[in-house]
Structure 1
Amino acid sequence: MLYSISTMVNKVFLYILLSVSCLGMAQTNSQTVPLEEVITVLETQFDVKVSYAVNDVKDIFIEKPDPSLTLQETIAYLNSKTLLNFKLLDNRYITVSVIDKQISICGYVISLVDDSPLFGATIAVNNTNTGAVANTEGRFNLENISANAILTISFLGFETKQIAANQLFSPNGTCKRILLGEASEALNQVLITKFLTTGLQKLIDGSTVLNTKAFGILPGLIEPDILQSIQALPGVESVDESIANINVRGGTNDQNLVLWDGIKMYHSGHFFGLISAYNPYLTEKVVVTKNGTSTQYSDGVSSTINIFTKDKINSKINGGVGLNLISADAFVEIPITKNVAFHLSGRRSFTDAFSTPTYDNYFDRSFQDSEINTRSNNDNAQSSSDFLFYDYTAKLLVDLNDNHSFRANFISINNNLDYAESFTTSENTTESKTSNLTQNNLGYGLQWKGQWTDKFSTHITGYYSKYNVDATDNRVETDQRLTQSNEVLDTGIKLNSTLTVNQNLNILSGYQLNETGILNETTVSSPQYELTKKDVLINHAIFSEAEYRKNNTYFRAGVRVNYFQKFDKLVIEPRLNIRQKLSNRLALKLEGEFKNQSATQIVDFQDDFLGVENRRWILANNSSIPIATSKQGSFGVEFNQNNLNLEVTSFYKLVDGITASNQGFYNNFQYVNASGSYTAKGVEFLINKTANQYSTWLSYTYSTNDYEFETFTPSNFPNNVDIRHSLSLAFNYDILEDLQVALGGIWRTGKPYTKPIEGNETVQDGNTTFVNYDTPNSERLDEFLRLDASVNYSFEFSNAVKASLRAGVINLTDRKNSINRYYEVNPNNSNEAIEINNTSLGLTPNFSFRINF
């Protein structure tokens, strides 16, 4: 009985299903019919013979042509409604052929997971420079492209899809849906697709991604300068507007771990910090993490800045060249075979050949407080200086098969300053000598990725990084020759293994070995003096973490265990990252981490490099220079609705093991050896509204940052980079599809400084006179305020060649912002201290022209 009832139900269900299907087919066929049927009617109606290949016309459906049309009008109608060419040879015969038509298409890029539009997805026409970016609805349009073109549709955290353009063609302009599934290895999905500007994205673990290919426009910038761009993020700024001194939540620049394709970098800027040294046009993405870092990364007790270059092998040569008022650059992607390619880039300044107003402003800003300027003020001396920088990269890409790939990388960053000086003696003879300062960072890297099964993969990385700053200072008036060198050699290897337990859970485990050697050397010719110090430190680490995401919950937790062989010291570092979505609009996030750092920079005022560079890398010795450690926690609330993003995050960070020489004090502790800590705590606020044509944001950070040195009196005082209030506001707008403008400003309270004691400004110790400073960091500079603007215009020479013109102005109002203040003993009056002020960039215009092919 039960069997017969079940059989009856199945038959009824099948009948209903077939009825609905037939009805749907009838409705479809009432609107469109197979092209083969239309051709049969055409032959009968006009007594003609149509010659065609069956494979060319099958699966093509169109609306029936109006029977009142003439033969010529019917042929024109068929040509407009299909991608075929109907050609009337004579009154009797018609041929049908496939041709490469120029068509216009549109589509919607949609997430397969939750059916949401993928705002910011990139659509590239293969082997051309034509492409589009999906808007807030996921929609894109491409006009006048080949019907035979292949489109590559990609979005961070989702699987890349290739689709033929003719599959998206619709005679009536209907836009088809393109569904992208999440990448199987990517639990860390994109949370906000357009964050501040196009190309900035927020990941679910709280990190921020800069996608340089789709990068929009930021105020004052003419290029997607990697390290300048990240300063748009809350909690990230530079107290002296230099990328060589990026402060993340109150940390110093050397506390930022910078990785370029897995290679640890010890130098990141040109013009001694005013320009990023990383070519953005072969960079695929930059991931910035302030807290809750993955256990696979160590060092950098303040942040991790992870730079990834392009990693896909194209079938056609792509490249570009550019020129601005300081330098020229070029890059090219060269496919050798289907599975092998080279990526090359290079940039060089032309400042040694001729100068521009932009260069003059940068030079004055960089060298305002160096021997280059102070010596040239000598009436008996004449001087000249030549400065240039260059960088170049190379990458070999080899896809061994579908599951294994090999990559080899090389990067070189160089700055060079020549300073020539002539001096007229009392006997009216002229003596001339040249001094030199070079700064460079070389990096070599190898990577091998293997996908062994659907659930298990490995990634092996090896690198070698070499940093040098060398100075030769020939002083004519004293006939003295001073040479200095700071060298870092860092070698590392890391093995990551990832196990995909299921679609919600990944487990990462691995091992890392690092050997770091640092050399500091100084020699003086008269009186003869030589000092050489070299240290080597080996660090072993094992790490493991679990990453889980399901529905509204994201969770990543793990631990890293570090062993320092030289000190027989074990450092255990737990990490935590949680995000819980309470509703479609509201989420809570909790992050925490322990980290360590063994290589830091000290600021040496007595032994600087030509007065231009006074920082040098040193290694921890576990006594006077301890291993720096950090403990950090943050809690935040996120609100998202209709492309309005609101975030409030509170943070607490304790960094222990810093040294007085590491901080660069301009006070009575300037030459004192001591170790201590600093505590930074505060609140970050961001409100960001984005739309198709504009984006605007306001960010505000309130924080306190205080030192604690037990051996100092007082033991507690404000940090050198204690910026209590920091506010940024920006707006960018697409006036036309190819014309964008951006305007923004930065305001923050001045950094602390120390004044001499009034009425007792200097003090003598033996034969040496020092500035007699008052309570450390008890005064503040005036408020910092800067307005910037940029404009970008893009155009095409052809479908394959695109160009852009960009103009930017830093400090529109030409405000003279003080960024540092200290005091020196007056050489004409030893009882008096003179005030030295360093100022920011004045009004600085720049302009760039680029061609991409």
Structure 2
Amino acid sequence: MKGIKAHTCFVFLFLWGSLCFAQDKISLKKAIDEIEQQHGYTFNYAEETISGYTVTQIDPSLSFAEKITQLKSQTKLLFTLLGNKLVTISLPESNLVCGNVKDEETGLPIAFATVQAAKKAVVTDENGYFSIDAPPTENIKIRFLGYRTAEITINNLETENCNPIFLSPLREQLDAVLLSSYLVQGMSKMSNGAERIDFNNFTALPGLIETDVLQSVQSLPGVHSTNETVSNINIRGGTNDQNLVLWDGIKMYQTGHFFGLISAFNPQITEQVSIQKNGTSATLTDGVSGTIAMETEKEVSNTFSGSLGASLIDANVFLDIPLGKTSSLQIGGRKSLSDVVTTPTYDAYFTRIAQDTEVETNVETVRNTNRSFDFYDVSLRWLYQIGERDKIRVNFLYVDNILAFNENATINNTAFSRESSVAQNSLGAGALWQHQWGEHLNTTLHVYESDYTLRAINANILDQQRFLQENSVSETGIKTAGILSLKETQKLTFGYELIETKVTNLDDVDVPLVRTLVAEVVRTHSGFGEYSIRFNDYKSILIAGLRYNYLDKFNESIIEPRLQFSQKFLEHFSLQVAGEFKHQITSQVINFQNDFLGIEKRRWQLSNNSTIPIIKSKQASLGFNYSNKGWLLSIEGYYKFVDGITSQEQGFQNQFEFVKTSGSYEVLGADVLFRKRFRDISLWISYSFMDNAYSFESLSETAFPSNYDIPHSVTFGSTYVYDTLKITGGFNWRSGNPTTSPVEGNEVVGGAINFDPPNSERFEDYIRVDASALYEVSLVNAMFEAGISVWNILDQTNTISTFYRVNENGDIVENKQTSLGFTPNAVLRVIL
């Protein structure tokens, strides 16, 4: 019996040892060295060619040819036998592998997931299938919103038998995707009501060749810009100053370059943006009209990447630099090309911003010369993974715009020249510490500083006068929050936030000497709590929150409930309900038409809780969605009431231009989106209805249409994506902006303009057709991207605003501002 046991143990140990020997992994270099010693062959190769490869231990008893066959099968490298016992090793010309991406729990395919290699990227089809050509040693990352990112070595994939690759859902994220590819690939509608754009998966939009963050959000239903600028985005009839704009949690008071024509946020460093029109999280304050939240990459990068590009407006650079295995640094920058070359695109932009201002035209005796315009921005993000439980993120952003020109005149046979200028800049800096206390509790501490300055020097050369104006905002915020996972489907968020906001306004005239400086500070203490739950097999999601705010300067408490609820039913249908109360203490005013030389007329101001009230809003919405086999229909009706607005904030250019009073506006509207997605083509059409009306008790007309009332808006778009080619086109039509005209035949009474009832007329309908194309090609270990776009192909003249003045002869003069005309643009980018 003992002999049988001993024999059995011996056989077991022999088999186990043999298995271990067979499965031992060694480096390819070591295997080559052993074969050279055993057979007397010499291998010729580049170190980077074989770096990273491992093979199983080669049986010494095999012949030389059998050993080479094993190396070939395990590495997929090319082994070429030359004379004199010389073998060369090289990479294969093509290494096409494939896979099928599926949900780990359901086994269903995941369509439109991004498969990213070092130099190439592809997207899975409707069946989750993908194929990619990349070196065997590279890793690919597979990403899809709502799932954990998977990282796989190419060498582990096969050429013919396409392996299944399973992605696991992110259970801790209750804001799951409700509708994917909302308009185009990379756009999603979330269960928390937000519409999200993921620029890693983004294709293209009509008229855009770069992922301009604030231009992209205007493609969504209910989001417009009545004057066609990113610094005046109107979410469901609200004004731009009623939007909360966040860049990695830092509140930004400046959003545009070129005084609003392009986004101030570098698209290369911004990973995604979310637009929340209603039902905002209780963790956020401010923004009574909506929230635009931008985010950079959250994960530490382990490989170097970067890009260098230029368009007909600016040059830009982006670097993602690993700093060891636990830290990485992202740096991005843009600089206008106006001081190097003047392009047609620059001319079109400059003409657009300078219409009917002192920059473009002056009185006959004054000549403007040496006009110059420059802008740049610098972005930085540093991420440090201290350990398994702690992560630190540091962000920095600086934005700068400056416009200058000389005013020249001859006075008493003497030539005079003085410079006028407008400078606008912002600085944002923030630091976030995240700590995981255990399996169920995660806390964050976020500190930020946001500073904005607008400085204008207006030289009146005929009166030998200099008028200096400054508007600055300095805001400091501290927020601490905890997220407690009660169960896999439930979480509780709670925390405290302190925000101190200081606004300073300066008016300084040298002749006669007049100086006015007003500085105000308001501190807001806030506590918040939010409960999120998924139930009914994740088909129902409820997010309910409450935010308490205490404004110490006014000794006032404000309680704000927030609600989001979504329900999936009948497999392809879903219902969404949202509501919120919000407030804000900052707003913008327009003091008079030529303020800041007519270029940037808006100044930030703080509420004083009397003549400038605290703005408060109430919103409610109900949405219905259907999605099946590429078809999507989304309908959402909403009601919004905003109280505490000022007439100066609304930008009146009629009989109420210089009136100072407060009131409210009320919006009833609906947003409709219909989309059909084929394999390579996506078609969509959206329609927005709005009834937006003011109520000012102290004005002669107590109720009348809002300046931002756009009753009807239709957008049609299509995108074609084939491999690395993207072509997109779109048509935009909407009702003309409201306007007020002088009474015909009786325009001037007593030296003043005699207006019709406010906003009783409209400009002609706004029409614009855009198109763009992007193409990517891989050359010399880099990706090259080239694109061209045309904004307003038909060169349609769209009037967006007008104002009237009485000249020295007592005649009325009309000044019109029109939108961008035919505006081409092109981009070339190298992606490393």
TM-score under structure 2 length normalisation: 0.90
1:650 to 612, 628, 637: 637
Matched residue type, 1:785:
I
1:134 to 95, 117, 124: 124
Q: What corresponds to 2:150 in structure 1?
A: 161
Structure 1 residue 158: Cα displacement? 1.5
Q: Does the Cα contact within 8 Å between 2:81 and 2:88 map onto a contact in 1?
A: no
Alignment of 1:282-297 (within 5 A): 282-297=269-284
Structure 1 residue 89: Cα displacement? 8.8
SS of the residue aligned with 2:596? Answer: coil
Q: Structure 1, residues 570-628: CA drift from partner, whole Å, max 9, x if none?
A: 11110110111111111111111111110000111167112211100000011111110
Structure 1 residue 436: Cα displacement? 1.3
Cα separation, 1, equivalents of 2:81 and 2:398: 64
Q: What corresponds to 2:787 in structure 1?
A: 806
Q: Does the Cα contact within 8 Å between 1:494 and 1:513 map onto a contact in 2?
A: yes
Q: What corresponds to 1:15 in structure 2?
A: none
- Give yes or no for the alignment of 1:847 onto 2:826: yes
1:517 to 490, 493, 502: 502
- Give yes or no for the alignment of 1:503 onto 2:488: yes
Structure 1 residue 85: Cα displacement? 7.0
Structure 1 residue 720: Cα displacement? 0.1
Cα separation, 2, equivalents of 1:302 and 1:772: 33
Which stretch shifts more, 351-360 or 645-654? 351-360
SS of the residue aligned with 2:417? Answer: strand
Cα separation, 1, equivalents of 2:376 and 2:668: 39
Structure 1 residue 380: Cα displacement? 4.8
Structure 1 residue 86: Cα displacement? 10
Matched residue type, 2:822:
L
Q: What corresponds to 2:400 in structure 1?
A: 414
Q: Structure 1, residues 162-205: CA drift from partner, whole Å, max 9, x if none?
A: 222222224xx121111111224212112233221222122122
Q: Structure 1, residues 99-124: CA drift from partner, whole Å, max 9, x if none?
A: 99963211122122333332232222
SS of the residue aligned with 2:418? Answer: strand
Q: What corresponds to 2:796 in structure 1?
A: 815
Q: Does the Cα contact within 8 Å between 2:584 and 2:614 map onto a contact in 1?
A: yes
Question: What is the identity percentage for the equivalent residue pairs of Structure 1 and Structure 2?
Answer: 38
Q: Does the Cα contact within 8 Å between 2:475 and 2:501 map onto a contact in 1?
A: yes
- Give yes or no for the alignment of 1:344 onto 2:331: yes
Q: Closer, same or farther in 2 for the Cα pair 1:85/1:646, shift >3 Å?
A: closer
Q: Closer, same or farther in 2 for the Cα pair 1:85/1:474, shift >3 Å?
A: closer
Q: Which runs of 5+ in 1 are unaligned?
A: 1-33, 37-48, 61-70
Matched residue type, 1:561:
Y
Structure 1 residue 58: Cα displacement? 8.9
Q: What corresponds to 1:65 in structure 2?
A: none
Q: Structure 1, residues 77-99: CA drift from partner, whole Å, max 9, x if none?
A: 87775536797999xx9999999
Which stretch shifts more, 667-676 or 433-442? 667-676
SS of the residue aligned with 2:119? Answer: coil
Matched residue type, 1:818:
T
Alignment of 1:337-486 (within 5 A): 337-375=324-362, 378-425=364-411, 427-486=412-471
Cα separation, 2, equivalents of 1:245 and 1:260: 17
Cα separation, 1, equivalents of 2:512 and 2:315: 44
Q: Structure 1, residues 534-569: CA drift from partner, whole Å, max 9, x if none?
A: 110000001111111132101111111111011110
Q: Structure 1, residues 401-427: CA drift from partner, whole Å, max 9, x if none?
A: 1221111111001100111111022x3
Q: Structure 1, residues 130-164: CA drift from partner, whole Å, max 9, x if none?
A: 23222222222111x22222222222221122222
- Give yes or no for the alignment of 1:740 onto 2:726: yes
Matched residue type, 1:508:
T
- Give yes or no for the alignment of 1:149 onto 2:138: yes
Q: Closer, same or farther in 2 for the Cα pair 1:197/1:606, shift >3 Å?
A: closer
Matched residue type, 1:129:
K
Q: What corresponds to 2:606 in structure 1?
A: 619
1:310 to 285, 289, 297: 297
Cα separation, 1, equivalents of 2:224 and 2:257: 18
SS of the residue aligned with 1:609? Answer: helix
Cα separation, 2, equivalents of 1:58 and 1:155: 38
Q: Closer, same or farther in 2 for the Cα pair 1:596/1:443, shift >3 Å?
A: same
Cα separation, 2, equivalents of 1:98 and 1:788: 47
2:518 to 533, 538, 542: 533
Matched residue type, 1:463:
Y
Q: Closer, same or farther in 2 for the Cα pair 1:88/1:521, shift >3 Å?
A: closer
Q: Closer, same or farther in 2 for the Cα pair 1:851/1:713, shift >3 Å?
A: same
2:534 to 549, 553, 557: 549
Q: Does the Cα contact within 8 Å between 1:84 and 1:97 map onto a contact in 2?
A: no
Q: Closer, same or farther in 2 for the Cα pair 1:86/1:312, shift >3 Å?
A: closer
Cα separation, 2, equivalents of 1:681 and 1:652: 5
TM-score under structure 1 length normalisation: 0.88
- Give yes or no for the alignment of 1:755 onto 2:760: no
Q: What corresponds to 2:648 in structure 1?
A: 661
Q: Does the Cα contact within 8 Å between 2:178 and 2:189 map onto a contact in 1?
A: yes
Number of residue equivalences = 779
Structure 1 residue 822: Cα displacement? 2.1
Structure 1 residue 207: Cα displacement? 0.9
Q: Closer, same or farther in 2 for the Cα pair 1:605/1:794, shift >3 Å?
A: same
Cα separation, 2, equivalents of 1:159 and 1:499: 20
Matched residue type, 1:511:
Y
Q: Does the Cα contact within 8 Å between 1:100 and 1:147 map onto a contact in 2?
A: no
Structure 1 residue 833: Cα displacement? 2.0
Matched residue type, 1:786:
R
Structure 1 residue 672: Cα displacement? 1.5
SS of the residue aligned with 1:230? Answer: helix
Q: Closer, same or farther in 2 for the Cα pair 1:83/1:649, shift >3 Å?
A: same
Which stretch shifts more, 573-582 or 336-345? 336-345
Matched residue type, 1:836:
N
Q: Structure 1, residues 764-823: CA drift from partner, whole Å, max 9, x if none?
A: 4xxxx432222110011100000000011111113x410111000000000111111221
Cα separation, 2, equivalents of 1:456 and 1:804: 44
Q: Structure 1, residues 373-429: CA drift from partner, whole Å, max 9, x if none?
A: 231x5255343310111001112211101221111111001100111111022x322
Cα separation, 1, equivalents of 2:476 and 2:580: 25
Q: Structure 1, residues 726-756: CA drift from partner, whole Å, max 9, x if none?
A: 000001112x412221110100011111111
Q: Does the Cα contact within 8 Å between 1:87 and 1:94 map onto a contact in 2?
A: no
Alignment of 1:84-95 (within 5 A): none
Structure 1 residue 57: Cα displacement? 4.9
Structure 1 residue 354: Cα displacement? 2.7
RMSD: 2.7
Matched residue type, 2:391:
S
Cα separation, 1, equivalents of 2:681 and 2:444: 40
- Give yes or no for the alignment of 1:114 onto 2:106: yes
Cα separation, 2, equivalents of 1:113 and 1:518: 53
SS of the residue aligned with 2:565? Answer: strand
Q: What corresponds to 1:27 in structure 2?
A: none
Cα separation, 1, equivalents of 2:690 and 2:80: 78
Q: Does the Cα contact within 8 Å between 1:679 and 1:707 map onto a contact in 2?
A: yes
Matched residue type, 1:540:
H
Q: What corresponds to 2:9 in structure 1?
A: none
Matched residue type, 1:554:
I
Q: Does the Cα contact within 8 Å between 1:213 and 1:281 map onto a contact in 2?
A: no
Matched residue type, 1:806:
G
Q: Does the Cα contact within 8 Å between 2:427 and 2:451 map onto a contact in 1?
A: yes
Q: What corresponds to 1:68 in structure 2?
A: none
